[in-house]
Amino acid sequence: MRTTLANGPPVISIDVEDWPQSTWNRDLPITDRAVDNTRRVLRLLRETEVRATMFVLGKLAERFPDLVKEMQADGHEVACHGYGHVEIAQQSPDEFLADICRAKDLLEQITGEQVKGYRAPDFSIVRKTLWAFDALAEAGFEYDSSIVPVRLVRYGIPDWPVQPAHVRLANGRTILEAPLATFRWFGKNWPVGGGGYHRLLPGCVSRSLARKVMGAAPFVFYCHPYEFDVRELEEIPLPIPLTVRLHQGAGRRYFEPRFVSFVREFGGQRVQDLLSSRHWPEIDLRTFSLDSPLKQISGIVDSLRPEESRCPARPEP
Ligand SMILES: [Zn+2]
């Protein structure tokens, strides 16, 4: 029996990538292990009757296009995780635009459908890389789901709204942002949406936190197929230091049963289902500076709205 919540079921989003390439060395090829891990997630989603959003890395889609078709055939939303998994701050705006256009085009060629959503590698849309929204809107993305409204060393924008919002950009365009789930405690937002926290916290604790969040705001959950792979870090032939193995491998043995309990209790939905389910407020990046808080400028505007793409046109076959 699934729990009914005021803000609907959680968004289940999976960042489909290969741990060695996305975390250890961006130049490594995508391995078959990523395929096996992704198929395991697809099986669990079938068994629990949940449709999710799969943010697929372009480099993985290029090597394993049939895996992307399997996601699509199961009714999941195929969205974009960029091409090479390079953090945005390490790219120029032109390099970033080329990366997202390449990945979006690859996914659209494989699925034959428009790709609406984007998630940045390592949640790397932070205060100093908010220019990425202009590129995303120019590339034709309708929404982003990269911002974690917390203060962490590597990522996060602590004063970002915890609800989805239309972001009005300097170029006049808008893009919807669906931030990752956070929990308000002792006057601060704490990240509770992601795989790492669900690997480390006991299942009953993370479900209890999620229940509280979902009473007040939509819950955007994320994880990676490799988090279901208990033996990966022992078996891959790379010189990974023990500290990294411990940090990245902690709790993987508990992850699958915790994930299954989570979706069995709450169900799940795709990002595009959440965003089209109601109207969202608008915030204005034109009044934004690096040291000022964000302003909400209007009440409610329409939900998903397509923008014209500036990606280079695909040549006719
Ligand atoms: Zn990633």
pLDDT digit string, tens, across residues 73-125: 999 999 999 999 999 999 999 999 999 999 999 999 999 999 999 999 999 99
Domain at 178, CATH number: 3.20.20.370
Residue 161 has pLDDT above 80, yes or no: yes
Å from CA of 13 to ligand 1 middle: 11
Å from CA of 17 to ligand 1 middle: 6
Question: Residue 260 phi/psi, 5° resolution?
Answer: -65, -45
Å from CA of 56 to ligand 1 middle: 9
In one-letter notation, the amino acid at residue 21 is Q
- Residue 305, domain member (yes or no): no
Question: How many CB atoms lie under 10 A from the CB of residue 245?
Answer: 14
Å from CA of 4 to ligand 1 middle: 30
235 Cβ neighbours under 8 A, 6+ residues apart: none
**CA-CA distance, 228 to 245, in Å (whole number)?**
15
**CA-CA distance, 307 to 206, in Å (whole number)?**
37
Our CA angle for 72, 37, 99, nearest 5°, is: 60
Beta bridge partners of 175: 167
Q: Where are the beta strands (DSSP E) in the chain?
A: 11-16, 53-56, 77-80, 117-118, 143-144, 165-168, 174-177, 182-185, 188-191, 220-223, 280-284, 295-301
**CA-CA distance, 44 to 41, in Å (whole number)?**
5
Angle between helices 93-111 and 65-73 (to 10 degrees): 60
Residue 299 has pLDDT above 50, yes or no: no
Domain that includes residue 119, residue range: 19-278
Q: Which of 6, 14, 5 is nearest to 50 (CA)?
A: 14
The reported pTM is 0.91
- Residue 114, domain member (yes or no): yes
17 in Cβ contact with 40 (< 8 Å): no
Residue 301 has pLDDT above 80, yes or no: no
- Residue 148, domain member (yes or no): yes
In one-letter notation, the amino acid at residue 317 is P
Å from CA of 81 to ligand 1 middle: 7
Count up the domains in the chain and report the number: 1
- Residue 156, domain member (yes or no): yes
Please give the helix or strand (H or E) that residue 40 lies within, else none. helix 32-47
- Residue 136, domain member (yes or no): yes
C-alpha distances out from residue 135 to 98, 206, 307, Å:
9, 35, 12
- Residue 293, domain member (yes or no): no
Report pLDDT for 246: 85
88 in Cβ contact with 45 (< 8 Å): no
In this prediction, residue 312 has a pLDDT band, given cuts at 50, 70 and 90, of confident
Å from CA of 121 to ligand 1 middle: 4
Residue 51 has pLDDT above 80, yes or no: yes
Report pLDDT for 165: 94
C-alpha distances out from residue 132 to 59, 92, 100, Å:
20, 10, 10
Beta bridge partners of 185: 188
Å from CA of 67 to ligand 1 middle: 17
256 in Cβ contact with 228 (< 8 Å): yes
Beta bridge partners of 15: 55
Helices (H), 193-251: 195-200, 203-216, 232-235, 242-249
C-alpha distances out from residue 183 to 59, 207, 219, Å:
33, 12, 10
Report pLDDT for 3: 64
72 Cβ neighbours under 8 A, 6+ residues apart: 78, 111, 113
> To the nearest whole percent, how much of the chain has pLDDT over 90?
63
- Residue 13, domain member (yes or no): no
Å from CA of 107 to ligand 1 middle: 16
Å from CA of 23 to ligand 1 middle: 8
Å from CA of 226 to ligand 1 middle: 11
- Residue 313, domain member (yes or no): no
Helices (H), 48-168: 58-63, 65-73, 93-111, 132-138
